[in-house]
A and B are shown apart, each in its own frame.
Chain A
Amino acid sequence: MKLEEEVVRRQRERARITAWLLGAFVVLLFFITIAKTGINW
């Protein structure tokens, strides 16, 4: 495997994981806000 291909593969993999983590963080922040404001569903 060429070096450039490996660089691109790793960058893509990291970008995908970062996107998932950011998404999870947004969801967590939403639920934290709900819990802190004491809203009952």
Chain B
Amino acid sequence: MPAIELTNPAALPADWRDILALTKPRVMYLVVFTGLCGMLVAPTMPPVVLGFTAILCIALGAGACGALNQWYEADIDAKMRRTAKRPLPAGRMDRQSALHFGVGLGIFSVLLMGLATNWLAAALLAASILFYVIIYTVWLKPRTAQNIVIGGAAGAFPPLIGWVAATGHMNALPLLLFAIIFLWTPPHFWALSLFVRSDYAAAGIPMLPVVAGIPNTRRQIFIYSLPMAAAAVAPWLLGLTGRIYGGCAAVLSFVFLVLAGRVLANRATDPAEMAPEKKLFAYSVFYLFALFAVLVADRWLTA
């Protein structure tokens, strides 16, 4: 298709690909996966269609968070290389459309969750969307280096929502799953923020490496990895899961601590020499996927 030259691309109706990009589909995988695992480890299973709808609602809620985040941070995104090509900073879409889409998707996901499963799950989904948008994006992120520590709670909701959607009530295990993701978020994001530090500095976001320096961030990564590893093996130690999960969680967490230790020992300040940080970031994604996959395997194999 020949390219069209436009002086004001936002005057066009947004392309559906840009609307889809607003929902940050790549971030959604982990949210959907942990939500699904939360549901699969619950003692009771809802009918397939209701389970599917619950997971769909979690995905739509995450999409709403992504859209509202991009609506609010369009100016900041324009200053960072990593985000400058998103639909809003690139001028392919107007901000009001993004706001309407995000609010509409959020309300729709909560109502559908309430109608299909139960209103406690819907309330938790609403809380996670509001927490991510208001507490994290609007309040914490531009103000404090602890943004990720507290804001991490928003990403920790999905397994809790999945469990509650299946059972209608809360329990110790989903709360521990919440704790694992909550404690996993700081080392995961700080590892990333170490090697994209200049981007955050240019955008004026007070991420820990920008405010407290690189050595301090490396120390914090290691410190936070310790309670995270403890939370990961806690379900087994408390007798909530079997030995399969306990053994795998111990090994996976040990490797995480070793990689966090290598980050701690690294002295480089040039992103090109931050191989341990990049390795930890990549491993942290695998770690969470593997931990939750093993949790489900343990539940279904030992049931």
A→B interface (CB under 8 Å): 1-3, 6-7, 10-11, 13-14, 17, 28, 31-32, 34-36
Interface residues of B in 105-129 (CB under 8 A from A): 115-116
- On whether A32 and B6 interact (CB within 8 A), knowing A10-B13, A10-B15, A11-B13, the answer reads no
Binding site secondary structure of chain B: loop
What's the minimum C-beta distance from B54 to chain A, rounded to whole angstroms?
A: 11
- Whether B2 sits at the interface, judged by CB under 8 Å, is yes
**Are A1 and B1 closer than 8 Å at their CB atoms?**
yes
Using CB atoms, name the residue of chain B closest to A16. B16
A10, A32, A36 — which one has the most chain B CB atoms within 10 A of its CB? A32
What's the minimum C-beta distance from B64 to chain A, rounded to whole angstroms?
A: 15
Binding site secondary structure of chain A: helix
**Are A7 and B4 closer than 8 Å at their CB atoms?**
no
Using CB atoms, name the residue of chain B closest to A17. B16
What's the minimum C-beta distance from A15 to chain B, rounded to whole angstroms?
A: 10
24 A-B residue pairings within 8 Å (CB atoms):
A1-B1, A1-B2, A1-B4, A3-B4, A3-B6, A6-B12, A7-B12, A10-B12, A10-B14, A10-B15, A10-B16, A11-B13, A13-B15, A14-B13, A14-B16, A17-B16, A28-B53, A32-B50, A34-B49, A35-B47, A35-B49, A35-B50, A36-B50, A36-B116
What's the minimum C-beta distance from A20 to chain B, rounded to whole angstroms?
A: 11
What's the minimum C-beta distance from B37 to chain A, rounded to whole angstroms?
A: 22
Other-chain residue from B13, B16, B116 in contact with A32 (beta carbon distance below 8 A): B116
